[in-house]
Structure 1
Amino acid sequence: MPSREIRTMRYALDIQKRQIEPSYSGQRAICPGCGGEVIGKCGYIVSDHWSHLSGSDCDPWHEPLTKWHLEWQNILKKYRNAQIEAVITKHDISHRADAALPDGTIYELQHSGISPEEIHEREQFYGKKLVWVFDAIEAYVSGRIDLREKENGNYTFRWKHPRKSIAYAQRKVFLDFGLGELFELEWMSKETPCGGKGKLIQSATVADFTIFSD
């Protein structure tokens, strides 16, 4: 089941340049990307987050964070010592990556739809050590992704009404099936009917993998 959108920006900077989450509504801090002022918003319906006082996000790549995003960020922070919402700057252009590891590996956690052009743009910006994790829970649970086991953990699949843009990714790709199941994508068709192949692994073991493209 798709997660409900609950945040816009999780972290901002205090006057000591430390990453902080808002502790009360109206709290002021600084956006680590643009340096603009942000305000804390806390409540019972929507989880605590920061919003730009200007009313718009400085990063066009940033999508509203869901519970799914937060769970993944917490996993990566705990098991891989990831920096969450890491600001990456190249050629005077900055973007907030969902998570960055100490070795430079970047994780993009993608719940919403994304075009092949946007995938290419992010891969060019973040480089070869980019790892995609796509939320495929609804497609898998509903049966639209049909896995067929081969051997040694290898699977083929058919995907009804697929997210075809995933097939254009040139970096390491994982599909999150939920319930602790991750699918490491090796190949996916751009045609209809859509199929592909890869390996089924457990998300609990993600800390044991050096998962970035050579």
Structure 2
Amino acid sequence: MEPDSSLFIDHKQPSKGIKRALNNYHGETEWHRNWKAAFPPAFREVSFSDITLGEIHRADVHTPCGTTLEFQNSPICLEELKSREAFYPKLIWILNGKKFKGFRVLKNLPDVNDPALDAYDFCHTDHLSMIRKPDFLRGSPRVLSFHHPELRKLPITSCYYSFCWKHPHRVWYQAKNPIVVDLGGHFIYQLKQRRQLSGDYPYLHMMTRKSFIEQYVR
């Protein structure tokens, strides 16, 4: 599936009279280039010509399966986020987390989708704890640590993590498409949210950079 039926992929220079709407093309960083180098040349800098609007959009990486990867080194506004997500239906954001202020990976979590946790909400604190949903609905939530008898036998995973982001770029919490945070090294982290009565709980799903890339390069 391509971004829009009125578009065509253009590997050549845009025609005269068509304006550019190129994202993250000028002033690329080494971080951008390192990510792009992990993909075949044919996947990189794929241009889409929007005949209706007379624009050229250039994807950082566009794979044969129709997935677009956008490598974002700096904050963007909500309008720009919505615009790109509307243009690329199968978009994945890759963020340079090394530039985030006050961002820390904290503790391993249990499986957030474990049915044993259906009656609980994670607390929105740096300390790993939960509350019972019925208590929350009654307006008298009691905080339970994972040493509590109801929780202490839950297995802890090696792929789900809590995190702290003291100065978050809140626009990313409004993204509809997947977000992957690159903190450097062999591992990357997908930012996810668990739906909860007391407010959605953001957490990280860790994976290797290699396994992520191999989904699209076989």
Answer yes or no: same fold by TM over 0.5: yes
Q: Which of 194, 202, 206 is matched with 1:200 structurally?
A: 206
Q: How does 1:27-66 map to 2 (within 5 A)?
A: 32-33=13-14, 58-59=20-21, 61-63=23-25, 64-66=27-29
Give me the whole-angstrom Cα distance separating, in 2, the residues matched to 1:110 and 1:195: 23
Q: Given the alignment of the two structures, is residue 107 of structure 1 paired with residue 113 of structure 2, yes or no?
A: no
Q: Given the alignment of the two structures, is residue 125 of structure 1 paired with residue 84 of structure 2, yes or no?
A: no
SS at match of 2:168: coil
Q: Deviations over 1:112-141 (max 9, x none)?
A: 2101111100000111x11110110233xx
Residue number in structure 2 paired with 1:72: 35
Residue number in structure 2 paired with 1:148: 107
Aligned residues of 1:99 and 1:107 also touching (Cα < 8 A): yes
Give me the whole-angstrom Cα distance separating, in 1, the residues matched to 2:194 and 2:21: 29
- Structure showing greater Rg: 2
Q: 1:84 to 1:67 in 2, by over 3 A?
A: same
Residue number in structure 1 paired with 2:174: 168
- TM (norm. structure 2) is 0.60
Q: 1:99 to 1:34 in 2, by over 3 A?
A: farther
Q: How does 1:5-24 map to 2 (within 5 A)?
A: none
SS at match of 2:39: helix
Shift of 1:188: 8.6
Q: 1:114 to 1:204 in 2, by over 3 A?
A: same
Aligned residues of 1:135 and 1:175 also touching (Cα < 8 A): yes
Shift of 1:35: 5.3
- TM (norm. structure 1) is 0.61
* Further displaced range: 143-152 or 104-113: 143-152
The code of the aligned residue for 1:126 comes to Y
Give me the whole-angstrom Cα distance separating, in 2, the residues matched to 1:106 and 1:120: 15
User: Which has the bigger relative contact order, CA under 8 A and spacing at least 6?
Assistant: 2
Q: 1:195 to 1:35 in 2, by over 3 A?
A: farther
Q: 1:188 to 1:145 in 2, by over 3 A?
A: farther
Residue number in structure 1 paired with 2:96: 135
Q: Deviations over 1:90-121 (max 9, x none)?
A: 33432111011011111110002101111100
The code of the aligned residue for 1:145 comes to R
Structure 2 alignment gaps of length 5 or more: 1-9, 110-155
Q: Deviations over 1:17-40 (max 9, x none)?
A: x97xxxxxxxxxxx734559xxxx
Q: 1:168 to 1:82 in 2, by over 3 A?
A: farther
Q: CA RMSD in A?
A: 2.9
Give me the whole-angstrom Cα distance separating, in 1, the residues matched to 2:181 and 2:205: 10
Structure 1 alignment gaps of length 5 or more: 1-17, 20-30, 37-56
Q: 1:162 to 1:60 in 2, by over 3 A?
A: same
Give me the whole-angstrom Cα distance separating, in 1, the residues matched to 2:189 and 2:68: 18
- Identity among equivalent pairs (%): 26
Aligned residues of 1:83 and 1:100 also touching (Cα < 8 A): yes
Equivalent residue pairs, number: 152
SS at match of 2:207: strand
